[in-house]
Amino acid sequence: MCLVLLTCCIQYLKDILLLYSILSLSLQYVQIRNDGSVVTEMMYRLNIAQKDRKQKQRDALHQFVLDKKQELRQQQEALILKTMDEISKRENVMQIKVITSLFLLCILCVYI
């Protein structure tokens, strides 16, 4: 019984302090949410700043992922170009070897 009375008194004092703080902050922005909680201008600005910071972090992470994707694509394209260049050089060497061997064979056939 005494505990219940004490709890009610504490809740009553909290409500009085809350009303006093609302009245003392009457010059500031105060918002009352649907659940009955009070949001002061300072808390409102803090929440907006946190949301803004989170949005900037998401944007930075998104940009980092896009940059990394572009970098990997460029590396892959460079590797493909390098491989194609090596293959074309090998083909040119093979063609030169074939032409040279055919030329030498023709020269040998002429002298025989």
CA–CA separation, 107 and 112 (whole Å): 9
Domain hosting 73: range is: 2-111
8 Å CB contact between 48 and 39:
no
What pTM, to 2 d.p., does this model score? 0.51
pLDDT tens, residue by residue, 10-41: 666 666 666 666 555 544 566 777 777 777 77
pLDDT tens, residue by residue, 33-66: 777 777 777 888 888 899 999 999 999 999 999 9
Give the number of domains in the chain. Answer: 1
What residues pair up with 31 in beta bridges, in sequence order? 39
